[in-house]
Amino acid sequence: MNYSSINPIHAAPEGFQFGRVWNCSSQIPSLNYRTRTFMAVQEDMTSKPRIPHVLTVAGSDSGAGAGIQADLKACAALGVYCSTVITAVTAQNTIGVQGVNLVPEDFVAEQLRSVLSDMQVHVVKTGMLPSIGVVEVLCHSLKEFPVRALVVDPVMVSTSGDILADPSILAGFREELLPMADIVTPNLKEASTLLGGVRLQTVADMRSAAKLIHTLGPRNVLVKGGDLPDSLDAVDIFFDGENFHELRGSRVKTRNTHGTGCTLASCIAAELAKGSPMLLAVQVAKRFVETALDYSKDMAIGSGPQGPFDHLFKLKSNVYNSYRRRGFNPSDLFLYAVTDSGMNKKWGHSITTAVKAAIEGGATIIQLREKDAGTRDFLEAAKACVEICRSHGVPLLINDRIDVALACDADGVHVGQSDMPVHVARMILGPEKVIGVSCKTPEQAEKAWAEGADYIGCGGVFPTTTKANNLTVGLDGLKTVCLASKIPVVAIGGIGVANARSVMEIGASNLKGVAVVSALFDRECVFTETRKLHAVLTDVAALVVK
């Protein structure tokens, strides 16, 4: 369609009042957007929990694959509240865009003021900004109501080739919006347009484009290479003004790609609202889109060449669980063996020898916790342990080190409260991996479930020498957490043959086992000690069944 077919909305719906004049005396024209502070984000107004909040300023897609609808679904999938300012209403489907009606600029301004003046927005994400007037209105509003971050997705042309914005807004982007942006996320066509029509055909071209766009003012640039010719991978280039990062992912073969750009930008905004640093937010967003595309690759909606994909795949628990490569079995937590490099060194055990002995003695899951080994040595040992565990049908998790878990193809990770947040680990690892998290309180257990953990490790139950200043919860604290948890629990901390029975008899049905370190690995014969503990746990389990 031609731009001439884009017309403003002439009549307001009943009950709406266009053209309201607002008193803007509260504007702060001297505020430097670069030096904005958290004072504008009034997070301490109440004692209620902080809710990450993204405001999307974009067009409505009647087919619900892109635009406002994609932004809402993406933020919901990542656990972030999303409010909306609609700039245009489109008639579109899987075939293309049949029509666009613009929302009057004064009503866009009214929507912005309604949300920004009341709802403590953390991050603003922009999509379709169809006119120079809308760009100016947005910039004015952000100067009056500064937010933590601005994510700009420069939507000008739809994937099907339909024009969605007046070409004159390029000046507004370059002169006003991009200098305020914390990140801008153009695809190859949009990057070319921003730079006056330069051709982008290689990764080197993308790097040059990212650097040139950075000179226009944004703090970070992500040039998306989904349409890069002759590329087997989905390659994006991230530039922060100093360093380039080449982000590669699997290229998913599917027609269901409508809304990928909107979704990626919204996911970045959602992660920034949670407090993630920029590069990590981009990595999480890229992983989310890749996973959603792969899950939705065979979905059939509409008859056109570009269908939507499913943002909320994780809600379909039965399909989601079958999608996971191995699946998580709570019974794996029965005898959870956690290795220790210091203990292995003390007794002259290699990590592979210790792991093999524990499995042969009855360990049902292994966690590699190697704090002293260098990354290269740890990775090589982890790969060897993966082979041992796979040959025995026992899952292997890595403590904290998500990079090692990915590199050795472990079954998952276990993280602590001060490690990477569970939701971030889930986005990086995808739906197929197991994630456990250490918890001491019901509140932490609730959060672990909400963010996508498979199980929690509760403790220390008893005093232990493996962690300094580790607060113990006791049997009562363990039971309290178990009763509050919606996911399986494994008890950890000071547990051995002498007290394992008392732990398993607390009367909590979701307590599935015990995790042990010293009782197995701070011993001369790991196999013998594991067999002893396995016998105690088996005896307790038999009594429970009776």
Sheet holding 97-102, edge to edge: 7-8, 97-102, 81-92, 53-61, 123-128, 149-155, 183-184, 221-225, 233-239, 244-250
Rounded-to-integer distance, Cα 294 and Cα 473, Å: 42
Determine which one of 87, 260, 291, 530 is catalytic: 260
Tokens linked to 464: 């232990």
Rounded-to-integer distance, Cα 412 and Cα 532, Å: 27
Tokens linked to 45: 């107004």
Cβ-based neighbours of 96, under 8 Å, separated by 6 or more: 1, 158, 160, 161, 162, 304
530 among known catalytic residues: no
Pairing between β-strand 183-184 and β-strand 365-368 as defined by DSSP bridges: unpaired
261 among known catalytic residues: yes
Question: Closest Cα partner for 280 from 267, 293, 291?
Answer: 267
224 among known catalytic residues: yes
Tokens linked to 504: 């398993």
Provide, for the chain, the percentages of residues in helix, strand and coil under a 3-state DSSP scheme, each rounded to the nearest 5. 40, 20, 40
472 among known catalytic residues: no
525 among known catalytic residues: no
Determine which one of 226, 259, 412, 452 is catalytic: 259
Question: Closest Cα partner for 474 from 460, 487, 488?
Answer: 460
Rounded-to-integer distance, Cα 444 and Cα 481, Å: 9
Tokens linked to 172: 């507004």
Q: Write a three-state SS string for 196-249.
A: CCCCCCCHHHHHHHHHHHHCCCCCCEEEEECCCCCCCEEEEEEECCCCEEEEEE
Exposed / middle / buried, residue 89 (Cβ in 10 Å: 0-12, 13-18, 19+): middle
Rounded-to-integer distance, Cα 74 and Cα 286, Å: 12
- Rg of the Cα trace of the chain? 27
Tokens linked to 130: 């169809």
Determine which one of 75, 82, 139, 262 is catalytic: 262
Q: Which long-range contacts (CB under 8 A, 24 or more apart) does 416-422 make?
A: 417/444, 421/274, 421/451, 422/447, 422/448, 422/451, 422/452, 422/453
Rounded-to-integer distance, Cα 193 and Cα 37, Å: 32
Rounded-to-integer distance, Cα 260 and Cα 427, Å: 16
63 among known catalytic residues: no
Rounded-to-integer distance, Cα 34 and Cα 462, Å: 50
Q: Letter for the amino acid at 392?
A: H
Question: Closest Cα partner for 82 from 113, 51, 111?
Answer: 51
Determine which one of 127, 225, 226, 261 is catalytic: 261
Determine which one of 56, 139, 217, 224 is catalytic: 224
Determine which one of 159, 257, 291, 364 is catalytic: 257
Tokens linked to 491: 């008890």
Report the Cα 331 to chain-centroid distance in Å.
28
Q: Letter for the amino acid at 450?
A: A
Catalytically active residues, by annotation: 224, 257, 259-262
